[in-house]
Amino acid sequence: MTNEQWLELFKGIGRKMRDGLSVILAREGGMVPLGKGAGGDKTFPVDKWAEDIILAALEKARWQGESFTLISEELGIRKFGEGKKIVLVDPIDGSNNAKSGIPFFSTSLALLNDETLSTLAVGYVINLAMGDEFWAVRAQGAYKNGKRIRTAATQGITIVAYEASSPRTDLPRIMPLLGEAQRTRCFGSTALDLSYLASGAISVFAAATASRAFDYAAGMLILEEADGVITDFEGTSLDHLVAGLGRTVPLLASKNDATHARALNILTSRPR
């Protein structure tokens, strides 16, 4: 399969998730019934339902001769043949929002040609609450709903978005950066933070807690293809990181090089 065919497969998964969830959300009052086995008759296990959609699509790719390994938040690691390619999946990124009825969560899908993030080839993110789609194929630019997107070329720090799994320890770490912002945002979905940054809406994004590759790989390629920059908090490229289930590093992402340099300087030069 070509990268473009993988992108079509990812879009198929995303749109099935979105269409099915619209029905579920209407029935459940906006809340996504997550949690395996937690439901009685009244709840519907969305995790299992999402798994089925993803596995059916990947099995189709396998039948077409593709050979790859799936790494997913829900499904863990599963081999579809012995090939080197890796498919990274987060069925619902922003599950705290989804299960409480806050309409900001996504599905994130990425294809790597090998185990390191330097081999990212395709990234796809869909806002499941309202349908915005973001995607990128390596060296072919980034798109939102079919239109080419680029980060903002300006240098001011207007909106700084962040994620923090442990506010008490994470927020003091990034406070100097938040203090430089005209506005802060914390939406609860790293894949969407990176995607809206790629589309020019956000100046800088910091994931203060070490993140997992399936949360950010798709958004990372979308951002880079939109002329954005992403590193760890020390300014080191993420390209050498190996995709897996574990947490890797905190992330700092910016709309352009000049802004990134300034954000790194703010994060590293002040007393914590």
Where on the chain is the footprint of its own copies (CB under 8 A)? Answer: 29-30, 96-97, 100-104, 127, 129-130, 132, 144-145, 147, 159-160, 164-165, 167-168, 171-172, 175, 178-188, 196, 199-202
Who contacts 218 (Cβ-Cβ below 8 Å, separation ≥6)? 88, 108, 109, 110, 123, 124, 125, 191
Q: Of 211, 199, 208, 106, which is closest to residue 159 (Cα–Cα)?
A: 199
Cα(271)–Cα(260) distance, rounded to whole angstroms?
19
Report the residue number, 182 or 236, with the smaller CB distance to its own copies.
182
CB of 113 to its own copies, least distance (A): 31
CB of 162 to its own copies, least distance (A): 9
Report the residue number, 114 or 132, with the smaller CB distance to its own copies.
132
CB of 25 to its own copies, least distance (A): 9
Report the residue number, 129 or 191, with the smaller CB distance to its own copies.
129
Handedness of CA 243, 247, 249, 250 (dihedral sign): positive
Report the residue number, 130 or 258, with the smaller CB distance to its own copies.
130
Cα(200)–Cα(151) distance, rounded to whole angstroms?
4
**Size of the chain, expressed as the number of residues it contains:** 272
CB of 141 to its own copies, least distance (A): 15
Report the residue number, 9 or 202, with the smaller CB distance to its own copies.
202
Using an 8 Å Cβ cutoff, are 208 and 173 in contact? yes
CB of 29 to its own copies, least distance (A): 5
Inter-CA distances, 25 with 41, 149, 219, Å: 17, 29, 25
Both tokens of 137, joined, read: 């194929």
Both tokens of 183, joined, read: 């506005």
Report the residue number, 130 or 242, with the smaller CB distance to its own copies.
130
Burial of 204 (0-12, 13-18, 19+ CB in 10 A): buried
CB of 223 to its own copies, least distance (A): 15
Cα(216)–Cα(84) distance, rounded to whole angstroms?
20
Cα(30)–Cα(24) distance, rounded to whole angstroms?
8
CB of 203 to its own copies, least distance (A): 10
Report the residue number, 175 or 249, with the smaller CB distance to its own copies.
175
Cα(264)–Cα(206) distance, rounded to whole angstroms?
10
With residue 216 as reference, give the H or E element that holds it: helix 213-225
CB of 191 to its own copies, least distance (A): 14
Report the residue number, 56 or 186, with the smaller CB distance to its own copies.
186
